[in-house]
Structures are given as structure tokens and as C-alpha cells.
Structure 1
């Protein structure tokens, strides 16, 4: 359906792709992954409208191929008065109305030939999208996503997560040959994420989905496209199998690298010896031997292993703080209530101690962000903040914290850094190096903007962190680095997140929104609740066993114990088969 051959493309300030190739064929559900800012969304844009870009190489798309698209930045139109059913069925209803209009025109027209042609074209279009069964098809999709209850609701009443799912259904029901979705999972709660998983797995056409969500990656997709450092890697298989393949390659490459390093060091010793001899023996043969050895050394250096997909540089995220409040209560919420047109939260009571790490969990649209923002603003009598608490805030609405008109350098000078050199040095740990620091924030990807927010939070040295969907748009490598920083942090964290892995790997307990109020839940009960809803009964145990073996492999590689690493890889392969 789609074939890309030898594609190279650059913006004036950045080269994105260098001679990349891939295909999308019948039956493939493809995950498109890679670190933030490498050009995934731009590549999708090229596929959607190749004529808009000047590139080298070929983009071959079957002329009969119909492409569907769901954007990562879709906005809910609050003025839409249409029902969910009518919104999803818009294409069907439009063609139905066109057919009815043509029939009415036929009753009075004397020139029927062009009307017959229009009538047949409309019937063909209706048939192409399964028009005869469109009501049944819409109901099936709503049932699959457990959203049948919203069938007759107004679109304007939907939460952001519900609207995203409705958009996915609407586009799927148009029966495109290739369906492209750019981060459709962002900000979805657990139930809506599970619904998206079902929609993806039930879809019959070709799918290309940009996602960093580990739940979707582990439970959907039979092909991986991985874009990194201007190169693209194509892998037929599941994400877990792809990661396993990378790990095998990593062991082989590290073993080769150790052997090469030993060869280089031996050659260095020979060169040094020849140079020492040449200082007191000027025979031509000695000079030729030295030059030959130096050339051999240069060849060794040139063929050192380069693997852009194996060792990807993680940002060095670290949350420090200026003062430790020990066991003090840093946030206390008493009889809090919030609402706009309707009451969202009522009689909310909880307190956060100085070392508590807590996740707020609840469906989309239940007031979580409103609560977190009110705590940050500290403008309500129902909220108390410790006098010595220094609070930092990460917003899911990125322009609340970042100014799009600023360059990256300007943003951090305004945040309190003294010199541009100081900013450059600090941001290099987060992967912002070279010319990118002179770019406007508006030009960055969603993942890069979120990583900048994390860098600002880290620089604040706050002892209370309020994090609203901190993993949104982040690639998996950065998500893992963030999890480690959260675990290592000594202060208090109150975090809104729908990312299961971030919650279970870093939080002490959760606050569940239930019937417009909040109740505390232990991490053990939370795991049980989520696993009962979204996973097989023994999945947790298998996942934990897999993670334990992966950690043993990392330790074996650190000690260059390659034989042990290979034995552990065999053990890991059997665990992956069970998952």
C-alpha cells in the first residue's frame, strides 16, 4: 500500500532522515516509535501530503489507497450540538442525504442521464463505507469501547478522552485502507486506554500509530518502525520481541567492542614501541612499519561498532531539593469542592507528608487537574501549604509553564539561570545540545516540551512536586529515566497519571476519585484493581519475573560477563513467550 525508498529530508536547522526505507502492507498494525524530536510527526505529514515537501527518495502510495488520520492535538468543539451517534455517522448521513436529494431532483428533471451517474456514484461511495450496515457498525464500535451509554449524548458534553475515542471510531468507520494515528493515547484514563486497545486490535485495515504508551506497545501491533538519529529500523514482530532482539544485539556488540578495544590497546602499545625505537633508529623500514601500524589503528577506530538503535542516550533526570521537611505535612486539603457548570469534586479531604509519593487516579473530566492547579495557586481556604514548602508544577497544558515565543535559552534565563553557558551545560543532561537551544519553544515536539518542563521542575530544587501527566508525549527511554528520578527523589510528589507503569513503579499509594470525592487506596489494592480490569490473572507475576531477569542481564553486561548474559537471555526468551 505504501512504500518509502531512500527518503532523505531536512529542515533548515535540522536533518531529519538520511536514506530511510520501509513498507506498510496488508494486515500490518505498526507502532511508530523513537525519541522525541526525531521527526515522527513530520514523516506522517509527508505520507499524508507528499507534494507539500521537497525531499530526496521515493514515497510510493497506491493511487487507490484511502488514508484515515487522527491527530494528537484534536480539540473538542464545545459548540457542537450534534449527538455522538450523528457525529460518528456524519459521512454516512451526508451520503444518505445526497442520495435522497438526487432522488427528489429525478422526480422533476427531464435530463436524467447525469442524475443517474451522480446517483450511481453516491451509491458506490455509500457501499464503500459499509453504508447498509452503518447503524449496526456504529453500535458495535460503541459497545467495543464500552461507550454505548454515550450514543445519544451531545458531543459537547464529552470528556477529552471520550472525544478522542469517538474520533478514532469515526475515522475507522470510514474504512480507510491505511489508518494513521499520532499519539491517540495521550491523557486517556485506564478505561479509555483499554477501549483504545480493543479498537486497535479489532481493526481490519493497515494501522500506523505513533505511541510511547507501554501498555499499548505490549498489547497491540505486529510490526515496529523505530526512527532514531536520522535512521529507521523496520522489525516484523511484537514490541517485546523487538526489545528482546535489541538486547541480543547489545550483548553481541558489547562483546565485539571489548574485543576491539583490547585489539586497539595492543596496537597502541606496538605503535608506542615503534615510536620509541624511531627516536634513536632512523632506518626507513622502521618508519614504514610505524606508518603501517598507525593506518591499521585508524582502520580499527573507523570500524568501531556504531549502533544507533541499541544504546540510546537517556536524559539524566534528577530531582534535588534545597530543604528537607522530614515528616511534616506539606499539603492539607479539607472539605475541598470544585465545579464549573456542574459539581466535579465535593468534600475532598487528604494530607500529603514530606516524603509521600502519591498518584491521583480517576476518569477523564473528574476534576483532577483543577485540584492540582488549585493546590499550586494556593488560592483556596480549603488548601493549606507548609510555610517552608517550595512547590514546583508541571502542567499537561504546556503553555501554562512554557512561553512559546521564547527560545529554550531565554526560557531558562527567565527561570533564574545566570548565563547562557550555564543553561547549555545544564540542558545537555536532558539531551538539548547544539543549535536546538536557540530554537523557539513553539517549534518543539510535545515530548521535547514536556522534557523541558521536567528540566525546569528539576532546576527549581523544590521539595513538593505537583506533576500533571508528566509522561505524556515522552518516549519510553525518557519515561524510564523519569521513573528512576521519582524513585530517588526525597521530597513529596502529588502526580496525576494514567500511565500504569509510572504509578506502580514510583508511587507509595493512590488517591482514587470515586463518586465526586477522594479515597485513599494502597498500592497493592490498586494493582489488584487494575490487573483485574486490564490484564490476565497472572500477568503481574510474569511481568515482574521478566523485569528481574532483564536487571540481571544489565548487571552481567556491566561486569562484561557475556556468557552469563547469554544464558539469562535464553531464560528471558521463555518468559516473553508466556507474555
Structure 2
């Protein structure tokens, strides 16, 4: 159980937690919510001992292991799978212990280390790490690629996989859905639902919170308030609580006014002095209720487009990709005025490639894309926040946009416009590099709105937006009179905005006949089919001989020559196949022996035998590695001889 008792936490002059208390039970899945800057990440730092509280007590069971997604960008040449494996701390510790025991030739220590490796699941750890990577969207050829070869978003996925790899009793996830596609998000939800430890998650994705959390902890004005239920339930309960709180405040104000009136009237009269003094004490003892101060709602709107060409876009057998590599082909569709199109597809299928081609940041590889007369595209790219000039302020960005792109605007007009996006006073000149991710995203939205587009092309626009701003974006898009094409993992936004979907899969773009629930079912079915195919492939026995392709029997002489060739290959490879069979039998026997020794160690073997068992496990491990290498070499030799 986690107990926070009367906690006060300061960050500089700001009080993040003010005499706050909360209790979290083992196994609970908790959503931690609150406005940007409320202190949610500071609370995580407190739970992981990276911050110390100024007052109060924090109690987390001492034996609990903690897992957290690191927020720094990893810089290493290690392969992706190896990087993720390093997140399994018990496994890393067991491997270090084994290396030290072998160096010291300490049999007892070897046995203990092998037992620790078995407990840590060392023999399938690599497969588990790669399953995490595949679930998060990595392809087979990327599993051992150097970490430094990936872009920033993919490195953050690696950090997430590394956190999931750690067997922990407490998991802390800070915005884990950022940088994920919808298919990876669906997979992550399913994984987290199976996790049986205590989990606290910070997220601005309401459907994600609704799917995985059963408790909501609201951080507001330095206090922690616990609500039973997911995010939607929290919203309902909080609204009811605010109504009751406001009613109680109004009632108390009436009572205070009544007492004060009595005091003011009779405090100078000797006959009423006792009663007046009693009212003063009652007023002093009364616990002051604060008025309900709801956070100011953020809202904005897209300005009316100057014109609405119809159709806006026409694709004629268009192909899109990079260099000589085609990602999507034969695109033969139209985009009409007023359409609300959600673009779906698994990671790597070409959604962003399609969007970039429409936006004009890359040219079609073939075919044609025809733009309607007067088309004005407002493009929000995933990496848009990265191209802001960090040493300049929001006003400088707007002045340059108005001058270079348009429409033109006076400085005061631009200041007033930025005020709609919560950039007021001196904040318009604050360096963008010092702004939060949400503030940068609001600036990009402001720049998009100013351009007065008639086609909005949005590629993951909500990654850094809080729930308030996401809701404002949803409302603005629904009121927008132009066309919207949207790629997003935010299902609430897709449901609220889009009325039709395109599916990018298997190199083509086609209509998806269904809603988001149907798409999630389709994704799960695709995942199951892939798992079945992989299982079938892994269960198939290793081929002893790889047969050469047989030419078409155009004449008897060809059949005879073919038969002679096969007989010759069979004769040449017979010794190799025989050796492979011997290795197969030996590896099977060694695996059974290893399992038996591990079972004895687990049951508590005699002290005198432990050292010998440790040495034998080491010998088995070395022999299995050598046999596996030799088996692979033989297979390659047979394949080469057959192909020749």
C-alpha cells in the first residue's frame, strides 16, 4: 500500500503539494490527472525518491521495485533489443553475478547465479523483449538496429519498452501514449490490462484512461482527491462535488453574514455582550470553505475559409514513397469540400508518407495529384514543434508568418490574436525554448489558424495537448467549414471529428467500411493472425535438406538430369544431416538435464552438492551455445550445397 500523509512539496517558490494526503491499494490502476503545471511529474519524482518532501510522510513498501519511463533521449550504439533487456534489472544483476562467479571459479556462487537467472526468465528474456518491441511497432529488421539510428519518437518508444520489461510492483507512466500509433496504443492497452502490479499513469488521452484505470487521483490546488472510477466517472463525480461545494459555500456565506450582523449590532450592548462574544467564537471556529474556482476553459475557432474549391484534391494512379522506394501506390481518390477523413493504418504502412505528399513536402513518385483552384492547406506535422525557433518568442513567429506567408497583420492585431491562445502580456516575447510542450503546441495551432486554410492536414496534432486543449481542438474542427484530413492515435478526437475513414494497408489506400471499434477489432484480428503464423513457423521442424527448385519437366532428359542432381546433393549432404541429427538429440538431452538441476536447486539441494550443480549448469550452458552455433553452420552449408 502507498500512503501519502500530510505531504508538502515545494519546487522553488511554488507549492506543488500543500498538506496533501492519499492512500493507494496494491494492484490498483490509477489515473493521475490535473492541469498542466499542477505538479503531476513532481509527484512521480517524489515516489521514486528523486525529490524529497518538505513535510509529511511518504510510505511505499520497501521491497517494491519501481519502473518508470525515462524522459531523456537515449544515446547509445547498443542494439534495440539489448537496450530493452537492460531495463530488466533482476536479469542484469543475475548476469553480472554469474560473470563474477565464473571469474572467481566459485561453484556456489555460480549455482546461485543460475538460479537467479532462471527466476528472472533469462532463457526467454530476449524473446519477451522483442515481443514488446514488435507490439510497439518496431519491424523485424529494426530489432537489433543501434538505438542512435532511430528518430526521437522511436527512441521514446524504446524507453517505454524498457520500462515495461522491468518486473516491478509499482509502474509509473508519464504520457506513455505520446509518439504511438493507434495500433501500438491498442496493443499497449491490452498489455497494461494484464499487468498485475500497482500502476499510476499520467495521460491526456481520455479513452486510454477509461480503458485501463479504475481509480482517478486529482491533483488540484496542491491537494490530492481520490475518486473511484475511470476518467469519465471522475468528470461526473467532480461536477457533482463542485455543485455540492458551491451550495455549501453559499450556505456558509449566508451563515457568516447572519453571525456578523448580530455581532455588529450587539457587541456594544452590555446585555448582549455574552451572546455577541459567543457568535465571534463560533465565527472563528467555522472552517472556511473556499469558493469553487473552475479553470477557465480554453477555446478557439478556425476562421472562415476565403473559398472552398470542390473537389479540393484529385489523385490519379498516384504513388508515394521515398527515392526509388514506393510505400503506397495506385491512389485513385478525390477529396471533396467539407469532408472529415480519418486516415488509419498500422505503423509503417505509409500514413505519414501519404500526408507529406499531399502537403507538398515531397513529390509523388508517379501518377498525378491535382489541386483545386484556390486550395490552401494548413499542415500540422508530427515534428512541427521541433522546427520552431527556440530563441524567438511567439510574437516574432507570428510577425514572420504574417510577412512571409500571410495574411498580413499589424503587431497589435497579432498580439490580440495570440491572446486567444493564452499568450498574454510579456509571454508573447518569452523564448519558445522555455515554453512547455503544450504551450508550443498552442503556438503551432495559432500559426495554423492565422493562415486561414480551407484544407486542414493534421498528423498527430494532440501529442502535447492537455485534455482541455484537445477538447477545444475537437470543437474547433467540428465548426470548421473546410475539409479535415486527420492522422491521430486520439480515439476521442477521431470519433468526434471524422465521419469517414481511409485505411492505408498493404501498399494501397482504400475506404474503411466501419467505425473505430470495427478498426480496433480488425487490428486485433491482424495481430492474432500474425501470432498464429509466427507460432506455426516456429513449431515447424528445422529442414534437414533445403531442396533446390525443380525445373519444369519439359522433356524426359530433364527429369532424369534433375533426379541425378538431387541424388548427388543428397549423397553430399548426408554426413552433414547426420551430424545435425546427433546435435539435435544432444541439445534435447542437455535441456532436460538443465531443467532437472534447476528443479533441484529450487527445492533446496544439499549444500555439498550446490557447487557441483553450479559448475555443471555452466558446462551445459557453454555446450548448448556451441551446439547451436554448429547446427546453424551445418544448415547454411546444406543450403549452399543445395542451391549450387
- Tell me the TM-score normalised to structure 2 length: 0.64
1:69 aligns with 68
Aligned to 2:20: 20
- Higher Cα radius of gyration: 2
1:17-416 equivalence runs, <5 A:
17-51=17-51, 59-71=58-70, 80-81=78-79, 83=81, 87=85, 91=89, 94-95=92-93, 97-107=95-105, 126=117, 130-132=119-121, 135=124, 139=128, 142=131, 154-156=143-145, 167-253=159-245, 306-308=291-293, 311-325=294-308, 327-330=310-313, 332=315, 334-339=317-322, 343-377=326-360, 379-380=362-363, 382-416=368-402
Q: CA deviation at 1:515?
A: 0.5
**For each residue in 1:91-145, what CA deviation from the matched residue of structure 2 results, as whole angstroms up to 9, or x when unmatched?**
56644543443343333xxxx6xx96x7688568657xx3256527954993998
| Conserved? CA contact 2:378–2:455, under 8 Å | yes
Question: What is the Cα deviation at residue 411 of structure 1?
Answer: 3.1
**1:435 Cα offset (Å):** 6.0
User: Conserved in 2, the CA contact under 8 Å of 1:50 and 1:59?
Assistant: no
Shift of 1:162: 8.2
**Hey, what's the Cα distance between the residues in 2 that align with 1:207 and 1:506?**
31
* Aligned-pair CA distance for 1:365: 2.3
Contact 1:346–1:516 (CA<8 Å) still a contact in 2?
yes
Q: In structure 2, what is the equivalent of residue 466 of structure 1?
A: 457
Residues 460 and 229 of structure 1: CA distance in aligned 2, closer, same or farther (over 3 Å)? farther
In structure 2, distance between residues paired with 1:44 and 1:421: 41
1:388 aligns to what SS in structure 2? Answer: coil
For the pair 1:8 / 2:9, whether they are aligned, the reply is yes
CA contact (8 A) 1:427 1:455 kept: yes
Who is 1:448 aligned against?
439
Structure 2 CA distance for partners of 1:472 and 1:144, relative to 1, 3 Å: closer
CA distance in 2, matches of 1:213, 1:341: 38
Q: Is the 8 A contact 1:6 1:19 kept in 2?
A: yes
CA distance in 1, matches of 2:426, 2:215: 34
Q: Is the 8 A contact 1:7 1:18 kept in 2?
A: yes
Q: How far has the Cα of 1:155 moved from its partner?
A: 4.0
Shift of 1:466: 1.5
Aligned residues of 1:72 and 1:181 also touching (Cα < 8 A): no
For residues 437 and 514 of structure 1, do their structure 2 counterparts lie closer, same or farther at Cα, with a shift above 3 Å needed?
Answer: same
SS at match of 1:471: coil
| 1:305 to 1:39, Cα distance in 2 relative to 1, 3 A | closer
Question: Contact (CA 8 Å) 1:37, 1:448: kept in 2 or not?
Answer: no
Where do 5+ consecutive residues of structure 1 fail to align? Answer: 272-283, 286-294, 536-579
Q: Deviations over 1:377-429 (max 9, x none)?
A: 35525443334222222122143442222233433343338677555543443
Q: Do the aligned partners of 1:10 and 1:17 also contact (CA within 8 Å) in 2?
A: no
Aligned-partner Cα distance in 2 for 1:398–1:66:
37
How far is the alpha carbon of 1:496 from its aligned partner? 1.0
Q: Secondary structure at the match of 2:204?
A: coil
Corresponding position of 1:565: none
Secondary structure of the structure 2 residue equivalent to 1:50: coil
Root mean square deviation, CA, Å: 4.4
CA change 1:29–1:332 in 2 (3 A) is: same
Q: Is the 8 A contact 1:337 1:347 kept in 2?
A: no
Aligned to 2:488: 497
Residues 374, 59 of structure 1: alpha-carbon distance in 2 compared, 3 angstrom cutoff: farther
Q: 1:143 to 1:175 in 2, by over 3 A?
A: closer
Which runs of 5 or more residues in structure 2 are unaligned? 262-267, 270-279, 403-407, 526-644
Residues 56/353 of structure 1: CA separation in 2 closer, same or farther (3 Å cut): farther
- Evaluate the alpha carbon distance shift between residue 221 and residue 492 of structure 1 in structure 2; reply closer, same or farther with a 3 A threshold: same
Q: 1:149 to 1:484 in 2, by over 3 A?
A: closer
- 2:83–2:162 Cα contact (<8 Å) kept: no
Q: Following TM superposition, by how much is the alpha carbon of 1:204 offset from its aligned partner in structure 2, in angstroms? A: 2.0
Give the aligned length.
490
User: Could you tell me how far 1:335 is from its partner in structure 2?
Assistant: 1.1
Who is 1:543 aligned against? none
Distance 1:433 1:60, change over 3 A: farther
